[in-house]
Amino acid sequence: MRALVVGRYGPPNVFELQQAPDLQPKAGEVLIRVKAIGVNFADLLQRMGVYPGTPKPPFIPGIEIAGVVEKVAEGAKPGEGEALRAGDAVVALTQFNAYAEWASVPAGRVFRLPPGIPFEDAAAIPVNYLTAYHAMFTMGNLQPGNRILIHGAGGGVGIAAVQLARVRELVIFGTAGSAKQAYLRKIGVHHAIDYTSSDFVEAVRKHAPDGIEMVMDAIGGKSFARSYQCLGPTGRLVLYGFSAGAGTGVARSWLASLKARLQTPRFDPVKLMGENIAVIGVRLTKLLSRPALLRGELAEIFRLYGERKIKPVISRVFPLEQAAEAHQYIHDRKNIGKVVLVVK
């Protein structure tokens, strides 16, 4: 099979298109013919060697695929519902090994697709929408009328969070660069904030002097401390990424990582208790041991998709062979929404 391999940590041009050995699913696994691959910021961090748990090169990156079941090995049970069969359309969370024509995935991480969802849309759903849904409603218990600040509201998780917030009738604050301000207003952000020219804490406090109920922050470093300042009593700070630790370049930066770590606040439990504030960490790959939880959340997301209340925004589609170009496109902050690879 063809696969995009990271031969060494570094910029996008480290990708190598190689012929990898054909896969045979182990007991409990499902062999999937890959049709589309969701490109996530985590993939960029894997390529750079800064994502937790990234193997040493050479390895195949990527955590999210959509495709067709080719073979179900003995003992492969999806956890709930009807057993998977060859020919089923599915999405899967791979943890690694997504950038290839085939993937062999533990059955608990494979989810049957409802009819009518194209593979490109399907590949853009699990990571973004599960991250947002889990943070906002499972961990965050947001209610209609609550106020939320979504950093990077024009990105993949950001747009998913905005759409879900609209469904639950939340008041939405969103940050993005100047080029994306009109788009944020178009998709329903009530208070669009240009982080390049405005102080987002001041912008939030102007409209919510008492503080808001949630901030979703994947930036890290000093941003965590600033986001905390936006919260009022019962506020939740959701930390689901650490992009500041990767720096602004396309290769690993130890200096940027160290600087971001030093700028990261230390949250005092006594202070959190006194202010009635919660700090919530969300990392989707650490939920893979809870397949029933993910299955339930994804079922609700698919239901909302079927009712046309949510839909992934796909910025651009690249063929698998152009994974390097896809990564550079995200590094250059050109994407509004999701970037997807397709396998021909």
DSSP state of 230: T
| Residue 83 pLDDT | 86
* pLDDT reading at 39 higher than 90: yes
Please tell me the pTM assigned to this model. Answer: 0.94
Q: What is the mean pLDDT of residues 38-46?
A: 96
Average pLDDT value over all residues in the chain? 94
* pLDDT reading at 48 higher than 90: yes
CATH hierarchy code of domain 2-125+313-342? 3.90.180.10
The tally of CA atoms less than 13 A away on the side-chain side of residue 230 is 30
Q: Could you tell me if 244 and 221 are in contact, meaning their C-beta atoms sit under 8 angstroms apart?
A: yes
Helix axes 41-48, 323-331, angle to 10 degrees: 110
Structure tokens given for 99: 């950038």
* pLDDT reading at 321 higher than 90: yes
| Residue 247 pLDDT | 66
Strands 171-176 and 147-150: parallel
CB atoms within 10 A of CB 49: 17
Helix axes 156-167, 126-133, angle to 10 degrees: 50
Q: Whole-angstrom Cα distance, residue 98 to residue 61?
A: 6
Percent of the chain with pLDDT over 90: 87
Where along the chain do its domains lie?
A: 2-125+313-342, 127-285
* pLDDT reading at 252 higher than 70: no
CA distances from 153 to 50, 63, 159 (A): 23, 22, 6
pLDDT digits (tens, 9 = 90+) for 108-158: 999 999 999 999 999 999 999 999 999 999 999 999 999 999 999 999 999
Phi, psi of 96 (to 5 degrees): -145, -175
Q: Could you tell me if 91 and 105 are in contact, meaning their C-beta atoms sit under 8 angstroms apart?
A: no
DSSP state of 134: I
pLDDT digits (tens, 9 = 90+) for 1-20: 999 999 999 999 999 999 99
Q: Could you tell me if 5 and 323 are in contact, meaning their C-beta atoms sit under 8 angstroms apart?
A: no
Confidence of residue 79 (pLDDT cuts 50, 70, 90): low
Whose CA is closest to 229, among 171, 277, 266?
277
DSSP state of 17: E
Domain 127-285 is of which CATH architecture?
A: 3-Layer(aba) Sandwich (3.40)
Q: Whole-angstrom Cα distance, residue 70 to residue 76?
A: 13
Confidence of residue 258 (pLDDT cuts 50, 70, 90): confident
pLDDT digits (tens, 9 = 90+) for 209-244: 999 999 999 999 999 999 999 999 999 999 999 888
Q: Before 58, cis peptide (omega within 30)?
A: yes
In single-letter form, the type of residue at position 99 comes to Y
DSSP state of 100: B
pLDDT digits (tens, 9 = 90+) for 290-320: 999 999 999 999 999 999 999 999 999 999 9
Structure tokens given for 11: 């910029």
Q: What is the mean pLDDT of residues 256-279?
A: 91
Q: What is the mean pLDDT of residues 30-51?
A: 96
Cα Rg of the chain, angstroms: 20
CB atoms within 10 A of CB 256: 18
Domains 2-125+313-342 and 127-285 share a fold: no
Q: Could you tell me if 73 and 29 are in contact, meaning their C-beta atoms sit under 8 angstroms apart?
A: yes
